[in-house]
A and B are shown apart, each in its own frame.
Chain A
Amino acid sequence: MSELQELPDDPGAVKLPDADGRVPVRIDVNGRARTLRVRTTQTLLDALREQLRLQGARSGCGVGMCGACTVLLDGRAASGCLTLAAVCDGTDVRTVEGLEDPSGELSRVQEAFLRHRAFQCSYCTPGFVLALEALLAVDPSPDEAAIREAFSGHICRCGSYSRIMAAALEVAGATDRREQA
């Protein structure tokens, strides 16, 4: 508090850290309103995993290159490791845990990944699934190029790319070019 001497009269919404260095953040996570107390330097990924124990989003490279930490932030694919939790106040966050419907039925993207066994270790899978969900939300029948572009920030170290593409193309209603050939 000591550094806050000459603040303007109305500096907008201010979040001053409490004695533990935390601020309250309200986020709608997988359809449920949650209030978290986060450090202002904490990432969304860390808050989801550590505070809410939602561990579908994973920490991979830590620099926004691998896609393992992907979540849907107000519908768009976002890297949890490049997003401050405090900035997410008032937003809608969806993780892979929130894709199934209340009866436990998986999304059609998840079903397609299962059908095509589009993974080995599965560390990257939530990221790929959410990237495709975000793409389908704005483009219900993307072509192969659009899918590849949406996957460009996602790395599968097991090398399941061809199965991942097959699953994605099936959901997109497109035909794998190799099958046409």
Chain B
Amino acid sequence: MSTPAFFFPRSVAEAVDVMDSYDGAAKLVAGGTALTLMVQQRLVSPQALVSLRDVPGLGEVLVDEDSGLLRIGALVTHAAAARHPLVRRHAPLLADSLAVVGNAQVRSAATVGGVLAEADYASDPPATLRALDAEVAAHGLAGERTIGVGELLLGFYQTALAPAEVVTEVRVPVLPAGTGSAYLKYTSRSHEDRPCVGVAAIVGLADDGSCADLRVAVGAACDAPLRLGDVEQQIRGRRLDGATLSEFADAYADRIDPVSDVRGSAWYRREMVRVWVRRAIEQALLRSGAHEHSKERAQ
């Protein structure tokens, strides 16, 4: 194997051009935490490495009031996004799920664009971004397009990105006021481990206490974050009592195609999905505006 060439393009367009000139044989380097490992372990043998380090404009976090989108530059690190006031305010569960990835060294290098482009099933943020209906902006030979996270993540380390396409931004619809949300990470071996199962839940209640919005994505348990839109739809308009939550969690547990790995067998994961989907929704309910109102009334 020859040693790959190394590029520091100074714009997204340059990065796309270099990637294109290698026709799928080049790899992008963002935070580098995942790629360095893959190269060291010979899981990938690229002919070129293309660092995004010197590309300006990919490190911003802002809220676009017109579109209602929280826009996070692809090179924003997990640590920076997790402590950013706009992320904490408009997508608190995203801040929570970025803050539990790996350890401090990983979080200060790994990026929000990189974690999606890598499509590692055993990571925390993808499930949360799936539940949030987030999109990525990607630049390629034909210009920019947006891709929903659900369409982006196809399977184990598989994405819908073209070889010369560069993720430039992650766009998250801001949560309406009063919406409750939670990301729960279940680790089966140690505190700092990757998740055995991760669940992101978003709940909005109507004035009468019935469910107006329920979005749940399960991560790290199968090839790509699992969302069941039809099951979510069936729950809307109903009260989220214990029986309803059990029915909802059972649907996720029954329909997931779980992976077996060192963090848990497929059978075990299915049962943990049953438990943690329910707990994540309960946690989100506790943080919803309806719950805050009822607390105020009780006081």
A residues whose Cβ falls under 8 Å from a Cβ of B: 3-8, 10-17, 21-23, 39-41, 43, 62-65, 67, 70, 76-79, 81-84, 86-87, 89, 131, 149-150, 152-154
Contact = CB atoms under 8 A, between A and B. Distances in A.
A131 B48 CA distance: 32
Given A64-B102, A65-B192, A86-B49, A11 B6 contact: no
B156 interface: no
B23 to A, nearest CB: 9
B3 A82 contact: no
B104 A131 contact: yes
Nearest to A76: B108
A41 B40 contact: yes
Interface of B: 2-11, 14, 17-18, 21-22, 25, 29, 32-33, 35-37, 39-40, 47-49, 51, 53-54, 102-106, 108-109, 191-192
A5 B21 CA distance: 8
Residue from A5, A8, A89 whose CB has the most chain B CB atoms within 10 Å: A8
Given A11-B17, A63-B37, A152-B104, A39 B32 contact: no
B215 to A, nearest CB: 29
Contact of B21 (A4, A16, A86): A4
13 contacts: A3-B25, A11-B14, A14-B6, A17-B3, A22-B3, A23-B6, A43-B40, A62-B40, A64-B105, A77-B108, A82-B105, A84-B29, A87-B29
Contacts, number: 131
- 3 A-B pairs closest in CB distance: A153-B103, A21-B3, A8-B17
Query: Which of A11, A21, A62 has the most chain B CB atoms closer than 10 A to its own CB?
Result: A11
Given A21-B3, A76-B108, 11 more contacts: A5-B21, A6-B21, A10-B14, A40-B4, A40-B6, A41-B4, A64-B105, A67-B103, A77-B104, A82-B33, A83-B109
Contact of B5 (A16, A64, A81): A16
A107 to B, nearest CB: 19
Given A15-B5, A64-B37, A70 B14 contact: no
Nearest to B108: A76
